[in-house]
Structure 1
Amino acid sequence: MLLAILLPGLSMMLHGHILRGLLCFFLQFTLIGWLPAAIWGVASRNQDLAERRHRETLEVLRARGR
């Protein structure tokens, strides 16, 4: 989570969002753009975690249905 705040572009790239990460890096290089980039990085990280939980839940439900 700290990486998503301090280096949001790198955080996005590490989670497989290469183009979003590059755009976020460009946004982060401006002083005004750093705060929106940090918020975007944290939101992206939270969305990735929610999607992973959703996939895991679906796998469990499918396993129970068999």
Structure 2
Amino acid sequence: MTLIAILFPALSFFLRGRIITGIVCLILQAILIGWIPAAIWAVISLQNAREDRRTRRIIREMRR
């Protein structure tokens, strides 16, 4: 998924169900210079989603 976030940043958002964010990212990608910030944004967003999922799992285990 990280490779998709780097090569196709907007697709990364669309696959995770973040449609509005994907559209904004696609507009940013339309500018060739905007591709790099869009890719960085997609990778950081992916990492944050993974951290949130891991945190929720830890909290759920602590409550047991």
| Residue 20 (structure 1) shift | 0.6
Partner in structure 1 of residue 43 of structure 2: 42
* Counterpart mapping for 1:10-49 below 5 A: 10-49=11-50
RMSD: 0.7
Task: Deviation per CA, 1:33-62: give whole Å up to 9, x if none.
Answer: 000000000001001000000110011001
Q: Which runs of 5+ in 2 are unaligned?
A: none
Identity, % of aligned positions: 46
- 1:51, 1:15 → 2: CA distance? 14
Higher gyration radius (CA): 1
Partner in structure 2 of residue 4 of structure 1: 5
Q: How many residues align?
A: 63
- In the alignment, residue 20 of structure 1 is paired with which amino acid? T
- 2:27, 2:60 → 1: CA distance? 38
Question: Would you identify which runs of 4 or more consecutive aligned residues in structure 1 move more than 6 Å?
Answer: none
